[in-house]
Amino acid sequence: MYDDKELQEYRDLLKTPEHFEEGFDWKTVVGAVFIGFLMMPGSMYLQLVIGAGIGPAARWVTIILFAEIARRAHTSLRQQEIFILYYMAGAALASPFQGLLWSQYLVQSDAAKMLGVAEFIPSWIAPGADSESMLQRSFLHRDWLIPILLLVGSQIIQRIDRFGLGYALYRITSDVEKLPFPMAPVGALGTMALAESSEEQQSGWKWRVFSIGAVVGLAFGGIYVLLPVVSGLIFTEPIRLIPIPWIELTRHTEELLPAVATGVQLDLGLVFIGMVLPFWAVIGGLIGLIITIVLNPILWDKGILHRWHQGMGTVDTVFANNFDFYMSFGIGLGLAIGVIGIWSVVRSFGKSGPDRGSLRDLFHPPQGRGDFNFWISIGIYVCSTLSYVGLCIWLVPNFPWIFFLGYGFLYTPIISYITARMEGIAGQFVSLPMVREASFIAGAKYFGYQGIEIWYAPIPIHNYGEATVGFREIELTGTSLRGIIKAELVVFPVVMVASLLFSQFIWRLAPIPSASYPYAQELWHLQALNTLLMQTSTLEGNSLFFQALNAGYVFSGLGLGVVMYMLLSLLGLPVLLIYGVVRGLGQSTPHGVILEVAGAILGRYYFHKRYGTMWRQYAPVLLAGFSCGMGLTGMFAMGFALILKSLSYMAY
């Protein structure tokens, strides 16, 4: 892994700076308010309409706006100030109260009634379907007091918990083991592009590349997002020049490829993503997908995929195949990824490079980086985990409490350290599937637990390894950790207030789901079926989940994944190709792969040859610009829709 050439290209994109600044001042305080009250509602609305929020684009829009204001005030934004704005935008867009919109639907859904679990959904998640608040469509009702207070309490613990075990693992893997974290520079380059434009440093290439991507994003977003939303408000039917979310081909290929979901997703963003992702990871995913396409007709012919029949579209095909085979097979593949990750970590010990640090580095971090004492982070982890355990014992007293301690103090630190090392070595995330679910089922089978409350409890199963990449990005941008902590303190109350107000506003405009929110109307029923199907496993009787689970398919997925890894390793193929193939084997919706592969091929065999090693730096900046352009069109469409809908609501 340490000698992989493609990973070496990524890890050499940026060097660790020697100077750090906080970047927190009055500009970032204003930025928090701007993000919470202008960006968040747009992201929430688009999520319900087209299934994708503003996402990363909101970050770039915010930064550009503040950079232009600063320029007209004859000042500029420092790189650290820009990163703090970027960080706060990401924290603000994760709207916590948006989950209440899903909860109110779930307790009233046809799926809950069909599976007979509506009466078991706990009242501390959402009041019952007969509550007066459901008729009024209002969260500002006494029936919602306990769910809201529980959500606020959980959010407070989560915000503090960010600086617990994840930060401790960052200090261990980065400062002591000196792991390279090859994918961290990709995340840091976008903000540095805007910092360069703001300060007018060097040649300004990053700003030019960002602008090119933004113009392309504006043009494509005008067709893909703006036109359907605005035309749907003016006319009886929206005008869609590009089908959303994909061109459905399953019914046209069912004779040739039975039980295979086919289609093409014409989202130009996939091309840019393919340019940024490691080439061999994309190609590996394609190879795994091709194997799946060949395998499905055989499985159907053998009677394994027996629920599929002609006439099914993508959604029905995927659900039927998952029930018959791929849920169990996917669990096995996930276990294979976990086993491979653990084995890679074991092999990597003692190979961390000649500049490996010592335990002294754990307690003496670089000056100016804003680090706090290592033992404080351990204390935060212990206290937050005990808080989760206490909440779970209070909410689900019938479930064995020993499981909660095992989740927090045994499983979580082990899987987090494995993931932290894999992220540091190869930029790969490691997870063991179904650990949470299997433990719930074991609690029901061997300890007599009956109910579904445990599925909604804030159990302390976390994987903090991924957080180490975020701390490495903070370091690469020269931002002091003290600035990040101050930003968290400011953005939290803004996010909580704005999230509750806009969730209330959007729900009052129209029922969710309904024709006003087409994505939710189209797919929430399927999501509810999948969610509640799993939850029936802890109820009495022969649940549908156990009908779908097949141990033989699980072990076949595990065996195939491990054998595939061993075979590709013996052939000396790149590390990322190996992971791509294993992950791609269980992929059942291939609609976006074509454009992603096109982007990877275009980047490697055209742009890389034309621009040389600099293309590695151009690609993430180009993607950031494209996301910004798409976000601008999405925000305009959201504003237009909300204004018209609120006017019609007030009129009646």
Q: Is residue 362 part of a domain?
A: no
The pLDDT score that the predictor gives to residue 355 is: 56
The pLDDT score that the predictor gives to residue 393 is: 93
Q: Does pTM top 0.85 for this prediction?
A: no
Cα(619)–Cα(628) distance, rounded to whole angstroms?
14
Cα(399)–Cα(431) distance, rounded to whole angstroms?
24
Share above pLDDT 90 across residues of the chain, in percent, rounded to a whole number? 9
Q: How confident is the model at residue 231 (pLDDT cuts 50, 70, 90)?
A: confident
Q: Is the pLDDT assigned to residue 645 strictly greater than 70?
A: no
Query: In this predicted structure, which of 100-109, 250-259, 371-380, 617-626 has the lowest mean pLDDT?
Result: 617-626
Average pLDDT of span 295-304: 89
Element (H, E) at 461: none
Question: Would you give the DSSP letter of residue 331?
Answer: H
Q: Is residue 358 part of a domain?
A: no
| Residue ranges making up the domain that contains 172 | 5-351+373-651
Cα(157)–Cα(311) distance, rounded to whole angstroms?
48
Top pLDDT among 88 and 2 is at 88
**pLDDT digit string (tens) for 583-608?**
666 555 677 788 889 999 999 899 98
Instruction: Name the domain count of the chain.
Output: 1
The pLDDT score that the predictor gives to residue 387 is: 93
Q: Is residue 400 part of a domain?
A: yes
Q: Which of 57, 391, 15, 309 is nearest to 181 (CA)?
A: 15
The pLDDT score that the predictor gives to residue 60 is: 67
Q: How confident is the model at residue 4 (pLDDT cuts 50, 70, 90)?
A: low
The pLDDT score that the predictor gives to residue 392 is: 92
Encoded amino acid at 641, one letter: A
Q: Is residue 426 part of a domain?
A: yes
Cα(461)–Cα(235) distance, rounded to whole angstroms?
48
Query: In this predicted structure, which of 35-39, 247-251, 298-302, 556-560 has the lowest mean pLDDT?
Result: 35-39
Q: How confident is the model at residue 384 (pLDDT cuts 50, 70, 90)?
A: very high
Cα(367)–Cα(385) distance, rounded to whole angstroms?
30
Q: Is residue 513 part of a domain?
A: yes
Number of Cβ atoms within 10 Å of the Cβ of 324: 22
- What angle is formed at CA 253 by the lines to CA 249 and CA 258, rounded to 5 degrees? 120
261: Cβ–Cβ under 8 A, 6 or more apart, which residues? 250, 314, 317, 318, 321, 588, 589, 590, 591
Average pLDDT of span 134-139: 86
Q: What is the mean pLDDT of the chain?
A: 80
> How far from chain centre, in Å, is Cα 327?
20
Q: Is the pLDDT assigned to residue 483 strictly greater than 60?
A: yes
Q: How confident is the model at residue 226 (pLDDT cuts 50, 70, 90)?
A: confident
Q: Is residue 357 part of a domain?
A: no
The pLDDT score that the predictor gives to residue 202 is: 41
Element (H, E) at 264: strand 263-264
The pLDDT score that the predictor gives to residue 306 is: 86
Cα(515)–Cα(521) distance, rounded to whole angstroms?
7
Q: Is residue 290 part of a domain?
A: yes
Cα(181)–Cα(72) distance, rounded to whole angstroms?
38
**pLDDT digit string (tens) for 321-345?**
877 887 788 778 777 777 776 776 6
Q: Is residue 221 part of a domain?
A: yes
Cα(182)–Cα(472) distance, rounded to whole angstroms?
10
